[in-house]
Amino acid sequence: MIRRSGRNTDPEAHKERKGICMAAETTKKPITTDMIIGDILANYPDAAELLMMCGMGCISCPASQMESLADACMVHGIDADEVTKYLNVELELLEA
């Protein structure tokens, strides 16, 4: 005897649900100054090179795992808003 789970087993419905999930996964939120450097790097690996180009060569240091982008910019004497805009434009999270 085959038991039905009560779930919709229609393949088209599954594709539709999967498409919704895939769209949610591919939507990236813009970077903000209060985001933690470690989280930025985990979610946007290409940000590592961009941050180094801004003068943050120590993105792999342990402090970066718990430091916000604003705090890191302050330590390095860089304008956090400019860095945030640069990252978002270069990573195509916002338009210029």
Question: Which tens digit of pLDDT belongs to each residue from 23-69?
Answer: 445 568 999 999 999 999 999 999 999 999 999 987 888 888 899 99
pLDDT, greater one: 45 or 3: 45
pLDDT of residue 16: 54
Rounded to whole angstroms, the Cα distance separating 7 from 37 reads 41
pLDDT of residue 74: 94
Sheet strands (E) in the chain: none
Residues 33, 84: contact at Cβ < 8 Å? Answer: yes
pLDDT of residue 12: 57
pLDDT at 22 over 50: no
pLDDT of residue 9: 55
What is the pTM for the complete model shown? Answer: 0.70
